[in-house]
Chain A
Amino acid sequence: MADYETRTRRFTRAEYERLIDLGVFQPGEAIELIGGELMVAEPQGAPHYTAIRKTAKALEAAFGPGWEVRTEGPIGLDDESEPEPDVAVVPGAPEDYARAHPSRAALTVEVAESSLALDRVRKGSLYARAGLPDYWVLNLVDRVLEVYRGPVPDSAAPFGWRYARSEVLDASAGVTPLAAPGSSIPVWQLLP
């Protein structure tokens, strides 16, 4: 009974894409579909946007040719989720995704200020459920990078999965993406 209020109408990804095509949302409304729920993204402050650009540039250099670094682009994650991670690295080139959004990313990054709890718990669980192997939360509050890896089932998590390993790296540390094992990126290069 206490849960009753939490029940809102859920949307499938197909419905969500039709809503966008029909122009139901206000232009520029930053919405993403997370587990059937329409979530409003964090407003873009200057540090947030700067962090996105710096992270995208650093990842482009680290991954090199054959990879596409997307910023705030949709991922067709599952039937009820179409998140728009701040940065995602996917195989191939832009034209490979002309007909459909990518469904998986080799590396997914969220830049978090006020959205820290959402990014760690709900999105972390959603991305773990989809089997995304490498998930980073760039924490602007504490100026650290949180690295999440190893998706495992956990019935207590919002979407039934979580990451088994997490590591917190400060600005002076270096990080190596799982899919670009020869590279090392200083965390300060990502921070605004």
Chain B
Amino acid sequence: MKQAERPGLHRWTRDEYERLIDHGFLDEDDPVELLDGLLLVKEPQHSRHRTSVLLVARAVERAFGEGWFVQTQSPISLDDRSEPEPDVCVVRGSPRDYVDAHPTRPALIVEVAQSGLPLARGRKATAYARARVVDYWIVNLIDRVLEVHRQPVRPGPAQRHWGYAAIETLGADGTIAPLAAPSAGVRVADLLP
């Protein structure tokens, strides 16, 4: 049964979640992230996954340059019930700007997904779109493609949840420019393990 069909599950607030961490119920090595109030267990880190995360971090660091920094598998404060840890985020400024609070709106989020593909396309895409993250990429390790999600849209008659109106799939020979670094070109081949 999907979580979406389990209305009885307790939903954690971000405050409660941070208290769980403070009291030692969860630590930095716990593979858990808070999304829509659910403590989701993260995809296990296979070496292919980890390799892709490092490749993506290096490629987007180069593409964005000065005035931005890249964080990997670190928390962002998305909303009252979501504190996910995307594989890669590009955030404006420098790490010291966030010494008191996690970043809230990355310019780009990238998830590397294998078994977690339904989650990355489903609940995560919904949460990122709702938070108006304008550029969301999924490195799909199963098909070795990059899925580029843009134009967050609110629920309308056609769909029940927030989502992305423009989804483009790029093969390994493709190139993509991040919305916030339009002059840079990132080769999809450079992101794949």
Q: Is A172 in contact with chain B by the CB < 8 A criterion?
A: no
Please tell me which one of the listed residues B1, B10, B26, B122 contacts residue A6 in the complex, with CB atoms under 8 A apart.
B1
Q: Is B48 in contact with chain A by the CB < 8 A criterion?
A: no
Task: Tally chain A residues at the interface, Cβ within 8 Å.
Answer: 22
In the complex, chain B residues whose CB is within 8 Å of the CB of A118:
8
Complex CA–CA separation, A36 to B9 (angstroms): 11
In the complex, chain A residues whose CB is within 8 Å of the CB of B1:
6
B124 to chain A, nearest CB (A): 10
0 or 1 for each of A16-28: is its CB under 8 Å from B? (1 = yes): 0011001011000
Stretch at the interface among A37-45, A67-75, A132-140, A144-152: A37-45
A-B contact count (CB 8 A): 60
Complex CA–CA separation, A19 to B38 (angstroms): 16
A111 to chain B, nearest CB (A): 15
Whether the pair B115, A115 counts as a contact (CB closer than 8 A) is no
Whether the pair A9, B41 counts as a contact (CB closer than 8 A) is yes
Complex CA–CA separation, A24 to B11 (angstroms): 13
Q: Is A7 in contact with chain B by the CB < 8 A criterion?
A: yes
Question: Known: A22-B23, A40-B10. Is A7-B16 also a contact (CB below 8 A)?
Answer: no
Q: Is A1 in contact with chain B by the CB < 8 A criterion?
A: yes
Task: Tally chain B residues at the interface, Cβ within 8 Å.
Answer: 27
B7 to chain A, nearest CB (A): 8
0 or 1 for each of A63-98: is its CB under 8 Å from B? (1 = yes): 000000000000000000000000000000000000
Q: Is A15 in contact with chain B by the CB < 8 A criterion?
A: yes
B83 to chain A, nearest CB (A): 13
0 or 1 for each of B24-58: is its CB under 8 Å from A? (1 = yes): 01100010100000111101000000000000000
A168 to chain B, nearest CB (A): 23
In the complex, chain B residues whose CB is within 8 Å of the CB of A9:
26, 30, 32, 39-41
Question: Known: A5-B122, A15-B25, A19-B25. Is A37-B41 also a contact (CB below 8 A)?
Answer: no
Q: Is A8 in contact with chain B by the CB < 8 A criterion?
A: yes
Of A4, A6, A31, which is in contact with the most chain B CB atoms at under 10 Å from its CB? A4
Question: Known: A7-B41, A24-B23. Is A115-B8 also a contact (CB below 8 A)?
Answer: yes
0 or 1 for each of A102-136: is its CB under 8 Å from B? (1 = yes): 00000000000001001000000000000000000
Q: Is A46 in contact with chain B by the CB < 8 A criterion?
A: no
Q: Is B180 in contact with chain A by the CB < 8 A criterion?
A: no
Seed contacts A4-B43, A4-B116, A5-B122; 6 additional CB < 8 Å A-B pairs: A1-B118, A5-B40, A5-B119, A5-B123, A8-B40, A37-B10
27 residue pairs A–B, Cβ–Cβ below 8 Å = A1-B115, A2-B118, A4-B43, A4-B115, A4-B119, A5-B2, A5-B40, A5-B118, A5-B119, A6-B1, A6-B2, A7-B41, A8-B9, A8-B40, A9-B26, A9-B30, A9-B40, A18-B25, A19-B20, A22-B23, A37-B10, A38-B9, A38-B10, A39-B10, A40-B8, A40-B10, A40-B11
